[in-house]
């Protein structure tokens, strides 16, 4: 399919970031364009997304850093990200194949065979199930972003652009394609995994009929495609519910409804890490940091407990970017924002931690994650602080403040109650708990 090159701003041969040479355009949208490029160091072919709005580099970095940790065979790998005066750039692996929009145009009559369409969508749901388990919503699911390669469907081009749009603009301007976007996203409302359910249901409708659905359209799918099984039509209808609470709750449930049973779990990297032998049950601590990150919209979250012998904070479990590097790190008494919170017993929300003299910049740099904003809350047991919960960077680009600190204190209370009910928990670590501890990197 021919590409309208008049909509692209980057010329072939241009080198960006002293590393990526533009080869040719792939696709474009309201917020930017995607190009084929090569890494000049090893000539590896990549896809480079150019986002035009250069005003929110901080938001872009937070979101990109998190996406770069994802690793799943059905999800495009984010390799790099950087910014300059002309915008932001997201570098991804180049997925060879044909996207479902092109495939539909080439082979649809007007739609694809039912079993083939359902098969593609189930593979797309495998990708979405993984990213949803990592507390991430794609935001821009549509046929163009599902590429059929040698090993099946791969989900590409996350809707990161919505994080970069002017707060006064509609969601339509920020990201997504009308008729594939869920109504709540179209209206600039809250985004959730159910938003992706709507989009994948709209994609299946399109693959079956040749055209995307119309919001609240009373037309029955069977009128457009008489051979569609009743259970598939019912599943798509439930996936396209205008009100999120009435919509199919998960992509796994949607995949089961269209046929084929539960989704198979293909291998993918979890964004949660723990020390080898944490001071409380591993599954409990990992559930805490994973849930906490979702509740507080954090790019990373961690739980640290005190060593009863040394008084050091030992990071037990973490979720998100930098999770592998922070677990096992010991923070000396009174050091860093977490040390301040442990000593005071009071929650602390810091809008600009990089310029806060209490911030342990050297330790943060050693983990590879230097946050912009942080929320740290103490874990209080019997009137004594036994550890901390830390949240790094809001994914919407905002800053943590006093309201977050109040909410964090309530979440910390629930965390301590959960640890207290765990018979294996040794909150003060000095009572014989074994951990794999390493000092901060220099």
Task: Give yes or no: residues 32 and 163 share one domain.
Answer: yes
| Residue 425 domain-assigned (yes or no) | no
Say if CB 215 and CB 183 are below 8 A apart: yes
CB atoms within 10 A of CB 412: 23
Judgement on whether residues 218 and 335 belong to the same structural domain of the protein = no
Residue 441 placed within a domain: no
Q: Which of 423, 422, 421, 415 is nearest to 385 (CA)?
A: 415
Please check the confidence at residue 4 and state whether its pLDDT lies above 80: no
**Shared-domain flag, residues 90 and 179:** yes
- On whether both 232 and 300 belong to a single domain, the answer is no
**DSSP readout, 20-78?**
EEEEEEEEE-SSEEEEEEEETTT--EEEEEEE--TT-HHHHHHHHHHHTT--BTTBPPE
Range of the domain at 110: 5-258
Examine the domain organization and report whether 121 and 210 are in the same domain.
yes
28 and 162 part of one domain: yes
* pLDDT score at 347: 97
Helix axes 251-258, 193-209, angle to 10 degrees: 30
Model confidence at 441: pLDDT above 50: no
396 is catalytic: no
> What pLDDT is recorded for position 217?
80
Three-class DSSP category at 123: helix
Shared domain for 325 and 253, answered yes or no, is no
What's the pLDDT tens digit per position in 46-101?
999 998 776 677 888 888 999 999 999 999 999 999 988 888 999 999 999 999 99
Mean pLDDT, rounded, for 117-123: 98
CATH, residue 377: 3.30.450.40
74 and 126 fall within a common domain: yes
Among the candidates 258, 288, 305, a domain finishes at 258
The arithmetic mean of pLDDT across residues 253-260, rounded, is: 96
Dist CA 114 CA 370 (whole Å): 49
Per-residue exposure over 283-292, b if at least 16 CB sit within 10 Å of its own CB, e if not = ebbbebbbbb
Please answer whether residues 373 and 356 qualify as being in contact, where contact means their C-beta atoms are separated by less than 8 angstroms: no
* 198 found inside a domain: yes
> What is the β-pairing status of strands 78-84 and 87-93?
antiparallel
Instruction: Indicate whether 216 and 295 sit together in one domain.
Output: no
Q: What CATH number is given to the structural domain containing 119? A: 1.10.510.10
**Which residue, 73, 77, 93, 85, is CA-closest to 20?**
93
Q: Are 126 and 263 in contact (CB under 8 A)?
A: yes
**Nearest one of 332, 339, 337, 366 to 352, comparing CA atoms:** 337
Q: What distance in Å separates the CA atoms of residue 125 and residue 106, rounded to the nearest whole number?
A: 23
Mean pLDDT of 141-159: 93
Asked, for residue 305, whether it belongs to a domain, the answer is yes
| CB-based contacts of 253, cutoff 8 Å, min separation 6 | none
Q: 440 pLDDT band (50/70/90 cuts)?
A: very low
Output the CA angle 230-233-239, nearest 5 degrees: 140
Segment (H or E) for 122: helix 114-133
At 8 the pLDDT is 80
pLDDT for res 30: 63
Q: Is residue 227 part of a domain?
A: yes
Considering the domain architecture, whether residues 91 and 235 belong to the same structural domain is answered as: yes
215 and 318 share one domain = no
Cα–Cα distance for residue pair 62/321, rounded to 1 Å: 9
Q: Which of 53, 99, 140, 196 is catalytic?
A: 140
Question: How confident is the model at residue 60, as a pLDDT?
Answer: 85
Say yes or no to pLDDT of 174 above 50: no
How far apart CA 253 and CA 244 sit, in angstroms, is: 14
CA 347 to chain centre: 26
User: What DSSP line would sit under 320-365, residue for residue?
Assistant: ETTHHHHTTBEE-TT-HHHHHHHHH---EEES-GGG-TTS-HHHHH
180 and 251 in a single domain? The answer is yes
Does residue 426 form part of some domain?
no
What is the total count of domains within the chain? 2
């Amino acid at each position: 399919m021919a590409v309208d090159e008049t909509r692209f701003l980057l010329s072939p041969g241009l080198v960006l970031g002293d590393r990526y040479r533009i080869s040719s355009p792939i696709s474009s949208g309201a917020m930017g364009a995607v190009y084929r490029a090569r890494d000049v160091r090893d000539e590896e072919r990549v896809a480079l997304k150019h986002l035009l709005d250069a005003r929110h580099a901080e938001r872009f970095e937070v979101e990109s850093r998190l996406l770069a940790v994802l690793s799943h065979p059905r999800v495009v790998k984010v390799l790099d990200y950087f910014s300059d005066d002309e915008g932001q750039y997201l570098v991804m692996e180049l997925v060879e194949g044909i996207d479902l929009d092109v495939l539909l145009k080439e082979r649809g009559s007007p739609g694809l065979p039912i079993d083939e369409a359902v098969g593609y969508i189930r593979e797309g749901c495998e990708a979405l199930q993984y990213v949803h388990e990592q507390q991430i919503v794609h935001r821009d699911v549509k046929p163009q972003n599902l590429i059929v390669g040698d090993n099946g469907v791969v989900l590409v081009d996350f809707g990161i652009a919505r994080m970069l749009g002017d707060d006064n603009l509609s969601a339509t301007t920020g990201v997504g394609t009308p008729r594939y976007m869920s109504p709540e996203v179209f209206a600039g409302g809250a985004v959730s995994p159910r938003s992706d359910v709507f989009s994948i249901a709209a994609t299946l409708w399109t693959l079956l009929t040749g055209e995307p659905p119309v919001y609240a359209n009373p037309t029955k799918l069977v009128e457009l495609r008489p051979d569609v099984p009743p259970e598939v039509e019912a599943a798509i209808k439930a996936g396209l519910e205008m009100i999120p609470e009435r919509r199919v709750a998960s992509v796994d449930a949607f995949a089961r409804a269209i046929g084929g049973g539960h989704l198979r779990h293909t291998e993918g990297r979890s964004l949660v890490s723990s020390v080898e032998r944490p001071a409380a049950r591993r599954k409990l601590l990992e559930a805490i940091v994973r849930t906490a990150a979702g509740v507080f919209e954090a790019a990373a979250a961690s739980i640290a407990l005190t060593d009863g012998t040394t008084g050091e904070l030992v990071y037990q479990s973490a979720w998100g970017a930098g999770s592998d590097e922070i677990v096992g790190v010991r923070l000396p008494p009174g050091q860093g924002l977490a040390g301040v919170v442990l000593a005071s017993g009071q929650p602390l929300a810091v809008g600009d931690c990089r310029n806060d003299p209490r911030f342990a910049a050297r330790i943060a740099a050693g983990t590879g994650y230097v946050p912009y904003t942080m929320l740290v809350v103490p874990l209080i047991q019997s009137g004594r602080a036994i550890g901390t919960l830390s949240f790094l960077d809001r994914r919407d680009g905002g800053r943590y403040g006093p309201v977050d600190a109040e909410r964090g204190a309530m979440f910390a209370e629930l965390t301590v109650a959960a640890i207290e009910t765990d018979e294996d928990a040794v909150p003060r670590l000095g009572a014989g708990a074994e951990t794999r501890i390493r000092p901060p990197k220099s």
